[in-house]
Chains A and B, each alone.
Chain A
Amino acid sequence: MKLIKKLSLAFTAAAIIVPASYAADLSIEIENLTRGTFFTPLAVAAHPDGTSLFSSGAAASTEIQAMAEGGSLTGIETFLTGIGATQDIDPAGGLLLPGASATANLNTDGTTNTLLSVVGMMLPTNDGFVAINAINIPTTAGTHVFFANAYDAGTEANDEIIGSGDPGMAGFPAPAPVAATTGTGGTGVAATAEGFIHIHRGVLGDINATGGDSDIDSTMHRWLNPVAKISITVN
């Protein structure tokens, strides 16, 4: 995973002036705003200036790919630990259902973790994920609201049929709550992996529960951005 280094001079100067201001006790509520899209376990992390999980326009790391195609956070967690991040993995305790909320708690005392990122796969999609990407954590006490968009990792063709959650394997995984809302027997939407991370174009879907091109339901699983509301409370 690529680590973005900013000018070390500026970083050092800032660190000298306000080291104590990095300490923060944060509650981060993530609300799924969609009609019928599930979020797989979320990674919520405060991390140092100059670091990020991904960059739009660039190819996804293997860690982002594993998260976006199958919901695995193992690689993300290891990466975050490596950069000294303060993290709360899977605050929802599994799938975050449409309309539901979960709250992560982060205490950045004693760290230089001034940026916040939240990522989690969106189901049913092939490699779509919800994200807040390295935003500045507010420093004033109170609740600050941000909205999160849907991204496409660009690592898998959006064929929109049930298949594998393993990186590089076609299709999307459908755990029981998701499978209860999706169709079967789709022949697959013609698509190729885009090769770079971008704002998701949305899903096509169809209304044929047992055939058609797609296993995604066009009346249930489409969305318009934003897909999540992120409320950061600085305690």
Chain B
Amino acid sequence: MNSAKVNSRSKFGLKRSVLMTAALSASLFIVGCSSNDNAVSGSVSNLAEFEIVVTNLSASQPMSPIALAMHNPDWTSFTTGEPASLALENLAEGGDNSTYLAAADASNNVFHSESGNGAISPGASETLTVQVNQSDLGTLSFSVLSMLVNTNDAVVAINNQSIASISLNETLGFNALSYDSGTEANTETADTMPGPAAAGGAQEGFNAVRDDVRDAVYVHAGVVTQSDGLASSVLSAEHRWDHPVFRVTVERTQ
């Protein structure tokens, strides 16, 4: 994904999110209303509905459109200590969640998956309303992934978090860590990061070459930045972050 796309989504993401939520609420009585539902079917009475709010807690790291999956515990987006999938690499290097969502849609372990409506700016939130069959509640887990776009390959994730115990009207909250996908060297240059901090450079997203310290996912060490002595970096102190990077709340509304 190029930066123009990220920026335009960032600009309109919130408004579209609100509209989408309203549209979903209005269409509750229409079975299979969402174009990328791959498992929800049946009448309203046997659906469980969730309002999921993702808030970007960073100072200056826009988050790429989130990838959301509602699934059973057998679906895992990544495992620390092991190489990233190609789908995770696409998301972590370029903010492109399409490969990940296609894989989720194709999996029998995933009840529902969808993309966020746009990038989430620092301090901003996005709300998604999703449904699964009530019969899936017993094994229900969820995952939310997003790239920190002013990085080489940082992904913020809730990875296979169980919400199987959630009851009607209950709200659960989770804090997300940032991970280094281990697929791209952390050069912090304008040619290698897709976010707005790299404006003027090539802003490359995905690149199949894997040249980080090792080809495995690990907890992100943060960015060094030019402000802190890395001359080749186009990042400054404001682009640093600490954990948690995003907060997600899951409310079961039906």
Contacts and interface: CB of A to CB of B under 8 A. Distances in A.
B38 to A, nearest CB: 29
A206 interface: yes
B243 A225 contact: yes
B200 interface: no
Interface stretch (B108-116, B165-173, B211-219): B211-219
B129 interface: no
A110 interface: no
A72 to B, nearest CB: 27
A218 interface: yes
B230 interface: yes
B70 to A, nearest CB: 21
Interface string A25-61: 0000001011110000000000000000000000000
B81 A34 contact: no
Interface residues of A, number: 21
B237 to A, nearest CB: 13
B72 interface: no
Contact of A31 (B81, B177, B222, B243): B81
Given A207-B230, A218-B230, A220-B213, A101 B81 contact: yes
A36 B180 CA distance: 12
B80 A35 contact: no
B224 A99 contact: no
B90 interface: no
Size category of the B interface is 20 to 34
B213 A226 contact: no
A219 interface: yes
Contacts of A131: none
Contacts of B229: 206-207, 218
A224 B218 contact: no
Contact of B213 (A36, A206, A225): A36
Contact of A98 (B178, B214, B220, B242): B214
B186 interface: yes
A227 interface: yes
B89 to A, nearest CB: 17
A98 B221 CA distance: 12
B80 A222 contact: no
Nearest to A219: B224
B81 A224 contact: no
B219 A34 contact: yes
Contacts of A225: 243
A196 interface: no
A229 interface: yes
Interface in A94-132: 98-101
A99 B219 contact: no
Contact of B218 (A35, A219, A222): A35
B238 interface: no
A223 interface: yes
A100 B2 CA distance: 34
Contacts of B177: 224, 226
B221 A34 contact: yes
Interface of B: 80-81, 177-178, 180, 186, 213-214, 216, 218-222, 224, 228-231, 242-243
9 contacts: A34-B219, A35-B221, A98-B213, A98-B218, A99-B80, A218-B224, A219-B230, A224-B178, A224-B242
